[in-house]
Amino acid sequence: MALLEVKDLQVEFPLGRKTLQALYGIDFALDKGERLGIVGESGAGKSVAAFSILNLLSKPGRISGGEILFEGRDLSKLNDKEMRTIRGNRISMIFQDPMMTLNPVLTIGTQMVECLKAHRDISSAEAREIAISKLREVMIPSPENRMDSYPHELSGGMRQRVVIAIALLTDPSIIIADEPTTALDVTIQAEIMALMLELCKTNNVGLILITHDLAVVSQVTERIMVMYAGRVVEEGYTQEVIKNPRHPYTRGLLKALPQENRPGQRLNQIPGSMPALDAIPAGCAFNPRCEFADGDCVKAVPDLVGEQGHRAACVHVDRIPAFVGAGGAE
């Protein structure tokens, strides 16, 4: 059985008179040490999916259906106290912007030690030792001194390393990383990504990487899940999906990547934009932006079809020509 299994997860935001549906029943699974990428434009519901695992949805969002099975227990049914034993202990999170993630008025040491002490019955001195060793693992120079630093005294890249160290503190079995490199300088992005990949491999930690960057996903993850308007539109082994995308939306995302071998060429964009939560089109939500759309597309929401390991939710899967997008990101 998989370590984490999400079944038919539905999330809604009740707002006054109307209720907005953010997730329409999504399924995915993660094995021990496996790395999964969740991809999509902003508003696709990928962050909502990630936050709902730890029940950290921003108000008034709530899980309205489905199960989140972690080691056989349904996380969505745990009370606050039981949830605390999971959060930051068995499953950790890394947020997008390291400038905002660390509390500006507390030292790095305080923020690391408090996390350890919340989950382990150890002394402050022991917690401090563990924290320093984790800072060393994420390649922070002179970690002993950094323990007494405040976040504003560190650079963005250093701060994200600290956040990663905090995520690793309790040797969790899963790390959920929500766009962990988006807010960083391009040069540092690759460094941080490489560090995360290496740490996950050496510690055998599962990773759920949320990003809109297909290039990053293809380098880091084994499996990929493409989301659009609160639904999964394509999922499978990363290399399979990248080389042979079946859903027009995935194709669009891949085409939009800059091509290394064709400098100077115009970037391809998907026309239009992600629909708002209260204006999702009938049928396949992508149909107004899709070059292959016809009358069949508005009839019903298509199911994921195909063999295990590569499925796509498009009624025209068979009609869509082979992808010739010049090798994707590789």
Partner 1 sequence: MFVISLIGFSIQDNLGDPLRELVGQSVSEAERDAMRERMGLNDPFLVQYGRFLSKAVQGDLGNSYFFKKPALEVIAAKFPATLELVIGATFIIVVFSVPLGVFCAINPKSWFSKFIMGFSIVGISVPVFLTAIFSIYIFAVELGWMPSYGRGETSDLLGWQSGFFTWDGFVHLILPSFSLASIMMPLFIRLIRSEMMEILQMDYVRFAWAKGLYPARVWFVHALKNTLLPVITVGGVQVGTMLAYTILTESVFQWPGMGFLFLEAVNRVDTPLIIAYIIVVGLIFVVTNTIVDLVYTWVNPTVKLVGQKS
Q: Which residues bind partner 1 (CB under 8 A)?
A: 54, 56, 58, 80, 83-89, 92-93, 95-97, 100-107, 114-115, 118-119, 150, 152-153, 163, 166
Q: Which residue, 150 or 237, is less far from partner 1 as judged by CB? A: 150
Q: Which residue, 150 or 323, is less far from partner 1 as judged by CB? A: 150
Tell the smallest beta-carbon distance from residue 92 to partner 1 (Å).
7
d(CA 229, CA 232): 8
Tell the smallest beta-carbon distance from residue 171 to partner 1 (Å).
14
Tell the smallest beta-carbon distance from residue 16 to partner 1 (Å).
14
Q: Which residue, 95 or 228, is less far from partner 1 as judged by CB? A: 95
| CA R_g for the chain | 21
Tell the smallest beta-carbon distance from residue 103 to partner 1 (Å).
4
Tell the smallest beta-carbon distance from residue 119 to partner 1 (Å).
6
Q: Which residue, 96 or 189, is less far from partner 1 as judged by CB? A: 96
d(CA 281, CA 198): 41
Tell the smallest beta-carbon distance from residue 211 to partner 1 (Å).
17
Q: Which residue, 105 or 279, is less far from partner 1 as judged by CB? A: 105
Tell the smallest beta-carbon distance from residue 95 to partner 1 (Å).
6
Q: Which residue, 58 or 202, is less far from partner 1 as judged by CB? A: 58
Q: Which residue, 83 or 197, is less far from partner 1 as judged by CB? A: 83
Q: Which residue, 91 or 214, is less far from partner 1 as judged by CB? A: 91
Tell the smallest beta-carbon distance from residue 152 to partner 1 (Å).
5
Phi–psi pair at 82, nearest 5 degrees: -65, -35
Pairing outcome for strands 174-178 and 206-211: parallel
Tell the smallest beta-carbon distance from residue 232 to partner 1 (Å).
24
CA-CA-CA-CA dihedral for 13, 16, 18, 20, to nearest 10 = -20
Q: Which residues contact 6 (CB under 8 A, 6 or more apart)?
A: 26, 27, 28, 29, 49, 53, 66, 67, 68, 69
Greatest CA separation for the chain: 67
Q: Which residue, 80 or 318, is less far from partner 1 as judged by CB? A: 80
